[in-house]
Amino acid sequence: MTGTESLTYTVEQVAALLGIARGVAYESVRNGEIPATRVGRRWLIPRRRFHAWLDGETEQATQVGAVA
């Protein structure tokens, strides 16, 4: 990652990456399907968590792997 790359995606960026409508992306973020963090009125999707989610990894599996 270069110094100019953001650590997060916006919901709009995730929608474009997934090829889904913005409204569907917002709904998926709100219901917890897409990992995201709310900062004020904005939703931010951490790049690493997003790509781990795409790869089928879960936080729980990652934590278990770190312990073992």
How confident is the model at residue 2, as a pLDDT?
58
CATH of the domain spanning 8-67, picked from 1.10.10, 1.10.1660, 3.40.630, 3.30.1360: 1.10.1660
Give the pLDDT band of residue 57 (cuts 50, 70, 90).
confident
How many other C-beta atoms lie within 10 A of the C-beta of residue 57?
13
pLDDT at 62: 46
Written as one string, the DSSP assignment of 30-55 is: HTTSS--EEETTEEEEEHHHHHHHHT
**Domain locations in the chain as residue ranges:** 8-67
For 3-53, the pLDDT digits (tens) are 678 999 999 999 999 999 999 999 999 999 999 999 999 999 999 999 999
At residue 5, the pLDDT reads: 84
Q: What is the pLDDT of residue 3?
A: 67
